Amino acid sequence: MQTTKSSAADRAVDELGDAVVALVRTWRGVGRRFTDGSPNAGPHSTLAVLEMARLLGEGEHRLSEIAERRGVDQSVVSRQIGELQQRGLVCRRPDPSDRRASLVRLTPEGHEVLRRSERLRHELLCGALARTPTTDVEAAARLITALAEELQARANELGVLAAPPVLTPEPRPIPERPA
């Protein structure tokens, strides 16, 4: 994104926007190369599918709920859940309150793949941030979270079709880094 704006604030905003786009593009690229090591892992074994498994966590959820939380169409979630089910990572059962719907949960194997993928993600980020001071990592996390929340709020104010509200992940300890 190139700009002819003269103010330093405008240039900084544009630089941040470019940086976010580059980060998302890189993260997706990493996800395409990720394989979780589970039995029957196919060519679509990506971080996006495992992120969906992360949303499932300990409980049971309807496909529509998962789609809403991920900000994608239910057909995308249905296809991905089908893949996870073929691999033995999730199981479905009819929703007792509405037999037309189903509830999905992780299997024990799904929990193990989720643990491995979270460990890999953590190691990948730790390696990438190894030379970055902890205070900078914490500041970046706060900025990205605040930016996502503010963008969501503004999109809602404008009536723009946007992703569901940002779900703040549980805080995880950040390994010590050089100050």
The answer, yes or no, to whether residue 15 has pLDDT greater than 80, is yes
- Residue 147 sits in the same domain as residue 101: no
d(CA 106, CA 55): 10
- Residue 53 sits in the same domain as residue 20: no
- Residue 24 sits in the same domain as residue 47: no
Evaluate whether 166 touches 152 at the Cβ level (below 8 Å): yes
Domain that holds residue 18: 1-33
- Residue 13 sits in the same domain as residue 80: no
Total domains present in the chain: 3
Give this prediction's pTM: 0.65
Order of strands across the sheet with 61-62? 61-62, 98-106, 90-95
- Residue 29 sits in the same domain as residue 89: no
- Is residue 127 in some structural domain? no
- Residue 139 sits in the same domain as residue 111: no
- Residue 69 sits in the same domain as residue 110: yes
Phi, psi of 92 (to 5 degrees): -115, 155
- Residue 117 sits in the same domain as residue 42: yes
3-class secondary structure, 73: coil
- Residue 42 sits in the same domain as residue 85: yes
pLDDT in tens, 63-89: 888 888 877 888 988 888 888 888 888
- Residue 114 sits in the same domain as residue 63: yes
Residues 6+ apart with CB under 8 A from 87: 38, 39, 40, 41, 42, 109
- Residue 12 sits in the same domain as residue 28: yes
Q: Say what the pLDDT of residue 43 is.
A: 46
Which residue type occupies 35?
T
